[in-house]
């Protein structure tokens, strides 16, 4: 029986989906290692592992837009995590949108359909958070 979730040498990083607890909107996908998972459990706020920066990344550490974890699910293979969260600040995306999935594709055309909540230049020194 594998661990739940199944962090291993082969899969030290697992994808974690954040879904808005109230609306059901899928907000973002990021990655967790065991340490970020344990921090998430301990604090009740989502902490991921930033692949680009190679370190733990507490969501909202710069912007204040933390994610309060309301429910946690693990999939059948124990290699994907689903967090149902309360998104503080109403925006999960570092580009200022409610959801990172603000671009819709249709017949090859890309349309921005998401709602922009803030201007990133007013919130971040750099692009991460």
User: Which residues of this protein are in contact with its own copies, per CB under 8 A?
Assistant: 4, 15, 17, 19, 23-26, 28-29, 71-77, 80, 82, 93-95, 97, 100-106, 110, 113
| Residue 94: CB minimum distance to its own copies, A | 7
The secondary structure of residue 120, as a DSSP letter, is H
| Residue 25: CB minimum distance to its own copies, A | 8
| Residue 77: CB minimum distance to its own copies, A | 8
| Residue 100: CB minimum distance to its own copies, A | 4
3-state class (DSSP) for residue 58: strand
Look-up: residue for tokens 């709602």? 115
Which of 91, 83, 85, 86 minimizes the C-alpha distance to 124? 91
Q: Beta-strand (E) ranges in the chain?
A: 14-20, 26-32, 47-50, 55-58, 67-74, 81-87, 103-106, 109-112
Nearer to its own copies, 66 or 100 (CB): 100
Nearer to its own copies, 55 or 103 (CB): 103
Residue 107, token pair as written in the block:
């017949």
């Amino acid at each position: 029986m594998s661990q739940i979730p199944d962090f291993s040498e082969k899969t030290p990083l697992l994808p974690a989906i954040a879904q808005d607890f109230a609306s059901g909107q899928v907000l973002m996908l990021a990655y967790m290692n065991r340490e970020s998972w344990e921090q998430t459990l301990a604090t009740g706020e989502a902490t991921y592992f930033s692949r680009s920066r190679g370190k733990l990344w507490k969501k909202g550490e710069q912007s204040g837009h933390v994610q309060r974890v309301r429910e946690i699910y693990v999939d059948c293979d124990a290699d994907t995590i689903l967090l149902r969260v309360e998104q503080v600040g109403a925006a999960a995306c570092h580009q200022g949108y409610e959801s990172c999935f603000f671009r819709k594709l249709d017949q090859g055309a890309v349309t921005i359909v998401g709602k922009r909540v803030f201007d990133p230049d007013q919130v971040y020194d750099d692009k991460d958070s």
